[in-house]
Structure 1
Amino acid sequence: MEKKLPLLVVKLKQVNKKGFTLLEAILVLTIISVCLLLFTRTATSSTSLSLEMDKVKSILLLAQREAILTKQVEYVQIKNSQIISGKKTHQLAKGMACGEHEIYFNERGNVNQARTITCTFNNQQKQLVIHLGSGNIYEK
């Protein structure tokens, strides 16, 4: 009688070629993160100037409305990156400069003189225009 030896069947692990390895996935995510970081930095600088100009305009409009409501003269002083309105001091973003201006709003909300406030931030400029008669403030 012949002895039968058991057959050893070795199953080879099948490799799935359809998916990514962990290393490839991490590499792709790193590249995407770096690209997003670079693109959002450039967009942030122009957005920051717009936001800061809105802040300056809001402070001026608040002082104008305060003058109308209290029927008293309101004084706003701009010193580069600092705005003093009434008893409050507002700080603008680091690197933003708006020059030096003194603005008076009378009890009707009109300014003492028309002016254009030019603010710069990261080599970009925007202007706020204040009209003499109406006291309107708009961004140019």
Structure 2
Amino acid sequence: MKTRDAVSLISKIKEKTSRFILTEMATQGIHDLATSHGDIIYALYNHQRLTMAEIAHNIRKDKSTVTALVDKLVRTGYVVKDRDAADSRIVYVTLTAKGEALQPVFEEISQRMLDTFYTGITDEEKQEMLRILIKIHDNF
């Protein structure tokens, strides 16, 4: 396989996984979120309260992108923002009950995606793929 073919294939896999997630969310009645919103919500499942800078670091997006994504999550009722009492420059983001209610749905979608992703792949192949992906990641 040529390097260009591999890059194209990686791009196609990313596109297909995004489409899979969006289709699964639509099946669950979730029409007001993009996959990048899910990244923020997932980060908040792991940390109940994060600053905007922490979210940007966790999901590897710049702060301006995170601000736009969080603002939409606020408008749709999934998160709330509040300023730090001691330093008003710091903005915290927390899930609302509506956002917390998505956790079992997100977990189910995630499991279905992993099941699809790993269909026909042995445990040894999974380990090898992970080893290679870590190497590629570390190269950047």
TM class by shorter chain equals: under 0.3
TM score, norm. by length of structure 2: 0.27
Greater helix fraction, Structure 1 or Structure 2: 2
Give the number of the structure whose alpha-carbon radius of gyration is greater: 1
TM-score, normalising length: structure 1: 0.27
Select the structure with the greater relative contact order (CA < 8 A; seq sep ≥ 6): 2
Whose strand proportion is higher, 1 or 2? Answer: 1
